[in-house]
Amino acid sequence: MSTSDHGDLKNVHGKPDPRVILVTGATGNVGRHVVTQLQRTGAVVRAQARDPASAGLPGGVDVVRGDLAAPGTLDAGLNGVEAVFLLWPALTADLAPAVLDAISKHARRLVFLSSLGIRDDLERQPDPINALHAAIERGIEQSGLEWTFLRPGGFATSTLWWAPQIRADGVVRWAYGACARAAIHERDLAAVAVRVLTGDGHGAAKYLLTGPRTLTQVEQVQIIGEVIGRPLRFEEISPEALRSQLLTRLPPAVVDGALTYWARLVTEPELVSPTVAEITGAPARPFRAWVSDHASDFLRTSGAVLPR
């Protein structure tokens, strides 16, 4: 890891390096892979973290302190940056105008991690998570930046919610076992982000991104069991019981939005998009491959791992 106060980054000709890319959310599921995959392209990678000292990012990455909840902290990390990978960790878009203002003073290009469920045909999104992403997308469209929206469906990492139950007794007690999702591997999302951040021809594109096929939640649990070599069982509980569980960690509007969406996916499975393969040239990784990459999370006997 290298941290710096970096003034203007200059290349050997004394000009600003055109390929400095700032990755927000760099310590998270997706951002961590964006950082490592970007490094392989030869881009100068700057990674934002609220606590650079604990970021745990690879050597050669310039880790800068920045907090999207305090837009005044962003300027230093944005200095000399050509493109930004932005995710939005907050539950309101209140600070988005100030953040976009800061970004557009420095960068030319912005790639935003949005969500699949946004309905472009509606003025108002029916659920709070898509409403949040749509509000930020609107701000970006008005910012003057060249933008690309990555709109992923459910992350495969969301199944880490089940890890404590799997480790405990191998029974996943959850609602909507027939909810069918095309869960995406975070490496594939990162691969698309890297192509877009470093290539041309992606301006004003809205990319729908999913895994290669839908699986019900019951099938996902079965695959996790096959990969870790333990028989697992999905035990259907009521939506109300799941709601109570989730309310201990998430606000009611978010929980209710998620439950409504999962209920819909029982009868209308999530769409499967070919875009990962179209952009990266490699097929989207199957859920089984994701489980292999994360098997230890389901096998540990302590130290609960939960998606943030």
Ligand X SMILES: NC(=O)c1ccc[n+]([C@@H]2O[C@H](COP(=O)([O-])OP(=O)(O)OC[C@H]3O[C@@H](n4cnc5c(N)ncnc54)[C@H](OP(=O)(O)O)[C@@H]3O)[C@@H](O)[C@H]2O)c1
Interface residue list for ligand X (CB under 6 A):
24-31, 49-50, 55, 67-69, 87-89, 113, 115, 152, 154-155, 157-158, 308
Rounded to an integer, what distance in angstroms lies between the CA atom of residue 147 and that of residue 106?
14
Residue number, 88 or 147, with CB nearest to ligand X: 88
Q: How far is the CB of 299 from ligand X (least distance, A)?
A: 20
Q: How far is the CB of 150 from ligand X (least distance, A)?
A: 9
The amino acid at residue 44 is: V
Residue 211: which of 264, 252, 272 has the closest Cα? 272
Q: CA angle 208-210-215, nearest 5°?
A: 140
Q: How far is the CB of 29 from ligand X (least distance, A)?
A: 4
DSSP H stretches of helix in the chain: 29-41, 75-78, 96-106, 128-141, 163-169, 186-198, 217-228, 239-247, 252-267, 275-280, 287-299
Query: Closest residue to ligand X, Cβ-based?
Result: 28
Rounded to an integer, what distance in angstroms lies between the CA atom of residue 127 and that of residue 80?
37
Residue number, 49 or 279, with CB nearest to ligand X: 49
What contacts 24+ positions apart, CB below 8 Å, involve 299-304?
A: 299/167, 299/228, 300/163, 300/167, 301/167, 304/163, 304/164, 304/167
Q: How far is the CB of 48 from ligand X (least distance, A)?
A: 6
Residue number, 59 or 230, with CB nearest to ligand X: 59
Q: How far is the CB of 50 from ligand X (least distance, A)?
A: 3
Residue number, 233 or 300, with CB nearest to ligand X: 300
Residue number, 69 or 122, with CB nearest to ligand X: 69
Q: How distant, in Å, are the alpha carbons of 85, 113, 247, 273 from that of 258?
A: 25, 18, 12, 21
Residue number, 233 or 254, with CB nearest to ligand X: 254
Residue number, 3 or 170, with CB nearest to ligand X: 3
Structure-token match 């991690």, residue found: 113
Sign of the Cα torsion 154, 135, 150, 91 reads negative
CB 152 within 8 A of CB 209: yes
Q: How far is the CB of 43 from ligand X (least distance, A)?
A: 19
Q: How far is the CB of 221 from ligand X (least distance, A)?
A: 17
CB 155 within 8 A of CB 210: no
Residue number, 154 or 225, with CB nearest to ligand X: 154
Residue 186: which of 223, 230, 155 has the closest Cα? 155
The amino acid at residue 198 is: T
